[in-house]
A and B are shown apart, each in its own frame.
Chain A
């Protein structure tokens, strides 16, 4: 195994990194290395971020690899759910040091109350991830709080709070077919992909749960969102068992057992709305670290001088399996539907090109990447990036430890900087923002705000709705350009600290500017309040890091995805492929 941490490599020649644990670009290791990190001006555009795919470093795959490596197993289980589908169940996963338990509450939800929106007040199932094994008292306490979600309170022993709704299209079909002794229709299964979809998975201290800071030092939570990913993983197991239980309640002894193959293909759906979009803007250092690690992984692959037969076969295998996955990707949204058509076309070009080129030597992956950059759409380019990483777990997987951001309080503003220096930084790092015509009404057409109603983040029309005075700080491009316009009219020698005391409304922009100048991939290089903004690009980017597939925008500001489809269930973890499961198996040839 290589040492993946890169802590002793020569420094990256580009912008200074704030976080000393982050990898530095490995491109400087060998003079003959052709590739370096891609330019932030290219990577950080929403059109590209919104075309990211899952990869080896996706948070779900980090978790399943760990659980297999460390021999996690389902250690206790309780399933106290009645014939009406009401009750609770416990699923405990035991790792080497600790046990975590999913507490699931199942409800009999009238159809008319089912909604994926944040404004919903009831769900088909609700969940908490408990730190350890809960006592009867814990279950009783949580039974009064978890089913009401935001209206209840949880405690530091709970790591997450979540809920899910049935897929109306699939749930009844699967229950009734199994109850009649038959397997469900696989075409219908493939077209939906899940029996339930989660509509929120809250962590990080929300509603009284444990702070991330309290668990961040545990090795199993060193990568981002691992508690949330574990929650969804166990929800999928519960949902499989619940559908079987409900079928058995109806069909009795004649009930068929859901085929393990069909069960394996089922994931957990997820509806994600605008609430997730601000995350990437509100956590610039963390976002930078995710992108740095992904870029570093890509560079390591592109700089491989040759590839072995085994590595080439691995790539070709996941490429073929990707074709199957893309064939199962459906979206009625015009933008996404067109992107899928282009992806299908270009993935075919990629297959043909790969078959025609010699991948065994002369920096094969770099040649392939460069061909892709010239010949493929952005959606397919990013798909290729993910596929190229697959043969190289030995030099990539250890990077997952660099994807979190250390808790360093708050980035301190360097107030000793002169306004001239500040203006220089803006010209150097925000030229893209200065180039936007801010006098055009469309450039500031939107405003992000939080509604009084259920505190839901929303995106409104600034020039048509009375929302501007409630605007959230989610327009860094505009804010930094405003800062630039102000400081270039003032004495250039004035200290930033003195300026900020006179005009403290610019503190947000100054802190962000100084941080982003040190962290090249911290900022989305697009206008997040433009009339042309497609908000689901922001959602997709984050969800791709989770490991989601089959993005299906339902409007420009919420989308559905599928998580864990084809992943091994807990009882299969020891033997099954816990790594590349995300790619469906190829159909068996007759």
Chain B
């Protein structure tokens, strides 16, 4: 395993997200999610490596979501959690008005958690996500912000997660749930395969060197040894 700073991991995630075909603005949100993961002991780079490997098979248009009135549906069938998270965050006010947001077939649902945090922060209220056999509460005002069961935590680490997730502004939830652990340090541990996968995606954002670029791009040409 390789040890990275949270900032290094977030920078890599941002570039890899862009390299995988998402726009820069979504890359900023992915970087935010990576930082949130580092604080919450989620293996950020492993999650993003798998997510971006999955999304790399689709065009950006295919990954977009139909934000229907009753439920949101990914145009490719499965739903991209990154774009879903962005829209949940954008539409925080919808939850404030008592409406729910229903997501169908989200993959890597753990990526939604940093966005739940943003919504809870904005609404200054807990929000709840429920599905057939699990639930979690996000309250940005509490340490760790997420409360859930151990089995849900395990479930969220996998790609295939519940078919239908309903998100509401609601603090009525079982008190028996466990707080999500907070990391003592901000370090990110990553396996070589995930790291290399993300680096390859990030590499797509770098322009191949040309002689013109080498000579003029960074402004050389004047002595720098005097």
The interface of chain A, by Cβ under 8 A from chain B, is 111, 114-118, 155-156, 165, 167-169, 204-214, 271, 273-274, 409-410, 412-416, 449-453, 455-460, 464-467, 470, 472-473, 495-498, 500-502, 504-511, 535, 554-558
Contact = CB atoms under 8 A, between A and B. Distances in A.
B25 A465 contact: no
A465 B91 contact: no
A169 B224 CA distance: 12
A497 B25 CA distance: 13
Given A412-B121, A415-B90, 17 more contacts: A116-B225, A118-B218, A205-B8, A211-B6, A273-B218, A410-B118, A412-B118, A449-B207, A449-B217, A450-B205, A470-B206, A501-B65, A507-B25, A507-B28, A511-B25, A554-B219, A554-B222
Contacts of A114: 225
Interface stretch (B29-37, B43-51, B167-175): B29-37
Contacts of B218: 117-118, 273-274, 451, 456-459, 557-558
30 contacts: A168-B226, A206-B8, A208-B3, A208-B5, A211-B5, A214-B186, A274-B217, A409-B32, A409-B36, A410-B29, A412-B118, A413-B89, A451-B214, A453-B209, A456-B218, A457-B218, A458-B213, A458-B217, A458-B218, A459-B218, A459-B219, A470-B205, A501-B67, A504-B26, A504-B86, A505-B25, A507-B29, A508-B23, A511-B28, A555-B221
B219 A412 contact: no
- A contact patch SS: loop
Contacts of B64: 501-502, 504
Contacts of A464: 212
A230 to B, nearest CB: 19
A535 B216 CA distance: 13
B93 interface: yes
B207 A508 contact: no
Nearest to B39: A213
B177 interface: no
Given A114-B225, A169-B226, A558-B219, A213 B6 contact: yes
A455 B206 contact: yes
Nearest to A496: B90
B94 interface: yes
Please give me the 3 A-B residue pairs with the lowest Cβ-Cβ distance, nearest first. Answer: A415-B90, A507-B25, A458-B217
Contacts of A415: 87, 89-93
Interface in B2-22: 3-8, 22
B67 A498 contact: yes
Interface size class of B (residues with CB under 8 A): 35 or more
A63 B150 CA distance: 47
Given A212-B7, A497-B67, A508-B24, A452 B209 contact: yes
- B contact patch SS: helix
Contact of A452 (B121, B206, B221): B206
Contacts of A511: 25, 28
Contacts of A451: 206-207, 209, 213-214, 217-218
Contact of B225 (A168, A459, A509): A168
A501 B213 contact: no
A442 B122 CA distance: 42
B219 A273 contact: yes
Interface string B72-102: 0000000000010011011111100000000
Nearest to B65: A501
Given A211-B5, A459-B217, A156 B187 contact: yes
A508 B25 contact: yes
B72 to A, nearest CB: 9
Interface in B188-222: 203, 205-210, 212-214, 216-222
B112 to A, nearest CB: 15
Contacts of A457: 218
B141 interface: no
Contacts of A271: 224
A61 to B, nearest CB: 27
B64 to A, nearest CB: 6
Contact of B90 (A208, A466, A500, A505): A500
Contacts of A168: 225-226
Nearest to B28: A410
A115 B224 contact: yes
B33 to A, nearest CB: 9
B34 to A, nearest CB: 11
A213 B94 CA distance: 32
B137 interface: no
B32 A452 contact: no
B60 interface: yes
B124 interface: no
A557 B219 contact: yes
B117 interface: yes
A452 B208 contact: yes
Contacts of B212: 460, 464-465
B61 to A, nearest CB: 9
A497 B84 CA distance: 11
Nearest to A113: B225
A504 B91 contact: no
Contact of B35 (A155, A409, A466, A506): A409
